[in-house]
Amino acid sequence: MTTPTPPADDSVASNFIRNIIDEDRRLEKWGGRVETRFPPEPNGYLHYGHAKSICLNFGLAQAYGGACHLRFDDTNPAKEDQEYVDAIIEAVQWLGFEWGEHLYFASDYFDKMYAMAEHLIMAGKAYVDSLSADEIRAYRGTLSAPGQDSPYRNRSVAENLELFERMRAGEFADGAHVLRARIDMASPNINLRDPILYRIRHAHHHRTGDRWCIYPMYTFAHPIEDAIEDITHSVCTLEFEDQRPFYDWLLDNLAEGGFFPRPVPRQIEFARLNLSYVVLSKRKLIQLVDEKHVAGWDDPRLPTLVGARRRGFTPEGFRRFTERIGVSKSDAWIDMSVLEDCMREHLNEAAERRVAVLDPIKLIITNYPEGQSERCHAPNHPLHPELGKREMPFSRELWIEREDFMETPVKGYHRLYPGNMARLRYGYVVKCTGCEKDADGNITAVLCEYMPDSKSGTPGADNYKVKGNLHWVSVAHAYATEVRLYDRLFAHPNPGARREGDAEGLERSFLDDINPNSLRTLQAQLEPALRAAKPEERFQFERHGYFVADRIDSQDGAPVFNRTVTLRDTWKR
Ligand code: ATP
Ligand code: MG
């Protein structure tokens, strides 16, 4: 696992892609223009990996004063849906990026793509093949053995044109024919052994309805989409590196045919994001949701962007993360703590402080008058005094954390135990006098006396030197609500991977590595100001971490909270 060194300045980090673009601009390719795109297939929700691609593509466009397109690569009718289109639009907007007029759908280009396929046929660069899928696979050869020409490879242009037209007209069943490029069945690059361009698929498309029954393959459609939109730098993940020769072959032939001006778009590959303790594959995410291992696409434990948003992760944190991990050509695993650190850094700046008692036990101040209360004042943000202070009511009975009292203290324990003094933060110094227990011996309340001259912010406050500093909430004023704490969704850094000591042939599933204790729901006592928290408002709960008011389950005046991240890294336990 690698944790890259942060670049000196997050905003101007150089990388190999920027170097390529700088060189292209120096040579005045595309007149110095930079136009990128983020091209999701609308067949699932976006995940943390997509955030890297989004920040990278939109970030490059911003850095060079260009545009980045949001393009839906909706060429496969089977798994695509408007629900996903809407969710993707919302996620990219949430990350803080704008595409202006540049919102595109590959399906809008189906007519143009068809015309380009016809052109390739006429130029002798494509043919209709009538082998079955299995036969095509068998004829393709292997990495070590060349492929074999299909018996249909030398059909005449006229015959190909006619068959292709009849494919489009719906005369054939799925799988009866395909359109293939005519390149080289002996090429050492398997992707150049006459790749399939079109297949018959009698399926309803979420945008074009039943207008088409042939659909372009991704490898054919994608370069054309880029070229139609005048993309300059087509940035994609490494698995497409072997496809680049075909990308170039196709656009070169179409430029030759007058469809596009030169230079055509340039494909550049980078290593995809791999993150420990999560899975970043749509297939696996769909399985987690469908099989109800999580509560839905926006479950805060899921590495989707809707989940991240509910968790309280911030767009700024994702952008910072993308800068920090940089882009490279070699696959690396990034530790989840790197992402969490980026969130912490932003939240430390952005989140106001509040007090919450997550595991409450009552503290009774026996020498404080019953029925009386007074105000204490707590700063909203230690780094931003201009954000002022808020009032916290103080009274005879307070909630404190159960762990802040020990009847018999362990060595080095400075909080409450009989005879010891500690400060109630923003309030008074108290001296513990004992505790109350029920018939079973369980502690039901902690008892103490307060020092009336010790109030924080008054001259007497400094008279007491104490080591413990506890947070508290007045029982009479507290806001009791649900708080959710999350742990890793998986108990292993690389879910489903083989590990040392595994028997030979043992197959692990990523599902076997699900952490059964990834969600803990508490009934907590919060300071009264938190009643007014708006959905998605973020806070640091002192000592407990960063929290967000849940955007779905919060009611007006009755928010519930999710922990975004702890104050320090607890993943390296
Ligand atoms: P699938 O392979 O199932 O289609 P996908 O994650 O590649 O899933 P796309 O919708 O094709 O889904 O992805 C859109 C863009 O996001 C692509 O350009 C892809 O390269 C990029 N992307 C996907 N996963 C990652 C990742 N883990 N890291 C960086 N970029 C990614
Ligand atoms: Mg993909």
Spans of all domains in the chain: 16-272, 356-471
What is the position in ligand 1's atom list of the atom closest to the CA of 240? Answer: 20
Query: With pLDDT > 90 as the criterion, what percentage of the chain qualifies?
Result: 92
Ligand 1 atom at minimal distance to the Cα of residue 237 = 20
Atom of ligand 1 at shortest range from CA of 53? 30
Q: Which CATH number fits domain 356-471: 2.120.10.30, 3.20.20.60, 3.30.70.20, 2.40.240.10?
A: 2.40.240.10
Q: How far is the CA of 327 from the centre of ligand 1 (A)?
A: 15
Peptide bond into 4 cis (omega under 30): no
Mean pLDDT score, 440-460: 95
DSSP 281-298: -HHHHHHHHHTTSSSSTT
> Which residues face 233 on adjacent strands?
266
Is the pLDDT reported for residue 7 higher than 50?
Answer: no
Q: Encoding tokens for residue 160?
A: 């190909």
Query: From start to end of 288-351, where are the E strands?
Result: 333-334
- Ligand 1 centroid to Cα of residue 552, in Å, is 27
What pLDDT digit, counting tens, does each position of 520-568 carry? 999 999 999 999 999 999 999 999 999 999 999 999 999 999 999 999 8
Contact 474, 394 (CB under 8 A): yes
Measured from the alpha carbon of residue 53, the closest ligand is: 1
pLDDT at 10: 41
295: pLDDT strictly greater than 70: yes
Tokens, residue 249: 């072959």
Dump pLDDT digits (tens) for 168-189: 999 999 999 999 999 999 999 9
Q: How far is the CA of 41 from the centre of ligand 2 (A)?
A: 7
- Whether pLDDT at 313 is above 60: yes
Angstrom distance (rounded) from CA 204 to CA 211: 8
- Closest ligand 1 atom to residue 239 Cα is 20
Cα-to-chain-centroid distance, residue 171: 44
User: For the packed helices 48-63 and 315-325, what is the interaxial angle rounded to 10 degrees?
Assistant: 80
The first and second tokens of residue 529, run together, are 């100001």
pLDDT of residue 80: 78
Q: Would you state the structure tokens that stand for residue 7, as one six-digit string?
A: 């670049």
367 contacts: CB under 8 Å, gap ≥ 6: 449, 450
| pLDDT at res. 571 | 52
328-354 pLDDT, tens digit per residue, is 998 889 999 999 999 999 999 999 999
pLDDT, position 570:
64
Distance (angstroms) between ligand 2 centre and the Cα of 494 equals 21
- The residue count of the chain comes to 573
C-alpha 50 to ligand 1 mean position (Å): 6
Report the alpha-carbon angle 514-524-353, nearest 5.
95
pLDDT at 477 exceeding the cut of 80? yes
**pLDDT level of residue 499 (50, 70, 90 thresholds):** confident
Distant-in-sequence, close-in-space partners of 169: CB < 8 Å, separation ≥ 6: none
Question: φ and ψ at 360, to 5 degrees?
Answer: -75, 145
pLDDT of 8 reads 36
- Give me the mean pLDDT over the 196-215 stretch: 96
- Of 237, 274, 285, 304, the one to substitute when testing ligand 1's pocket (max ligand atoms within 8 A of C-beta) is 237
Give nearest CA residue, ligand 1 atom 9. Answer: 40
Query: Does 392 score more than 90 pLDDT?
Result: yes
Return the SS3 of 142. Answer: coil
Q: How confident is the model over 395-410, as pLDDT tens digits? A: 999 999 999 999 999 9
Query: According to the CATH classification, is domain 16-272 in 3.20.19.10?
Result: no
What pLDDT was estimated at residue 13? 62
CA of 272, nearest ligand number:
1
127 close to 121: Cβ distance less than 8 angstroms: yes
Q: Which tokens sit at 411?
A: 């060595």
The bound ligand whose nearest atom lies closest to the alpha carbon of 39 is 1
282 is catalytic: yes
Residue 563 CA to its chain's centroid (Å): 16
Average pLDDT over every residue of 251-277? 97
The CA-CA-CA angle for residues 413, 419, 423, to 5°, reads 65
Closest protein CA for atom 16 of ligand 1: 50
φ and ψ of 468, to 5 deg? -80, 145
Using one digit for the tens of pLDDT, what is the confidence trace for 272-284?
A: 999 999 999 999 9
pLDDT in tens, 356-365: 999 999 999 9
- pLDDT of 500 higher than 90: no
* Beta-carbon-side half-sphere exposure of residue 293 (alpha carbons within 13 Å): 20
Ligand nearest, relative to CA of residue 279: 1
* Higher pLDDT pick, 1 / 481: 481
Q: Which of ligand 1's atoms lies nearest the C-alpha of 235?
A: 18
**CB-based pocket (< 6 A), ligand 1:** 39-41, 49-50, 52-53, 236-237, 272-273, 280, 282
Mutate to test the pocket of ligand 1, among 38, 41, 105 (most ligand atoms within 8 A of CB): 41
Mean local confidence (pLDDT), 426-441? 97
- Residue that is written with structure tokens 């999560």 in the block: 278
- Compute the average pLDDT of residues 301-310: 98
Ligand 2 centroid distance, CA of 247 (Å): 15
48, 282 in Cβ contact below 8 A? no
519, 513, 539, 535: which is closest to 527 by C-alpha? 539
Measure CA of the first residue to CA of the last residue in the chain; give whole Å. Answer: 16
Catalytic position from the list 25, 41, 159, 352: 41
Please tell me the distance between residue 57's alpha carbon and the centre of ligand 2 in angstroms: 15
Measured CA to CA, the distance from residue 399 to residue 414 in angstroms comes to 18
pLDDT band at 4 (very low <50, low <70, confident <90, very high): very low
* pLDDT-derived band at 368, boundaries 50, 70, 90: very high
As a whole number of angstroms, the distance between CA 61 and CA 91 comes to 18
CA angle 300, 305, 307 (to 5 degrees): 15
Task: Tell me, in angstroms, the distance from the centre of ligand 2 to residue 133's CA.
Answer: 22
Report whether pLDDT(105) > 90.
yes
Amino acid letter, 522:
L
The atom number, within ligand 1, closest to the CA of 41 reads 10
Instruction: Confirm if 178 and 126 have CB atoms less than 8 A apart.
Output: no
Spatial CB neighbours of 111, under 8 Å, sequence gap ≥ 6: none
Per the residue annotation, which of 33, 153, 272, 531 is the catalytic one? 272
Taking every pair of Cα atoms in the chain, the longest distance, rounded to a whole number of angstroms, is 102
Angle of CA points 57, 340, 240, to nearest 5°: 35
CA of 354 to the centre of ligand 1 (A): 38
- Point out the ligand nearest to the CA of residue 45: 1
Average pLDDT of the chain? 95
Asked about 272 being catalytic, the answer comes back as: yes
Residue 385 clears pLDDT 80, i.e. is over it: yes
Check pLDDT > 90 for residue 421.
yes
Pocket test for ligand 1, best of 50, 84, 268 (most atoms within 8 A of CB): 50
Nearest alpha carbon, ligand 1 atom 23 = 50
Is the pLDDT at 573 greater than 80, yes or no?
no
Mutate to test the pocket of ligand 1, among 36, 37, 53 (most ligand atoms within 8 A of CB): 53
The tens digit of pLDDT for each residue in 144-160 reads 999 999 999 999 999 99
| Catalytic pick among 282, 320, 423, 488 | 282
101 is catalytic: no
> Atom 29, ligand 1: which residue's CA is nearest?
272
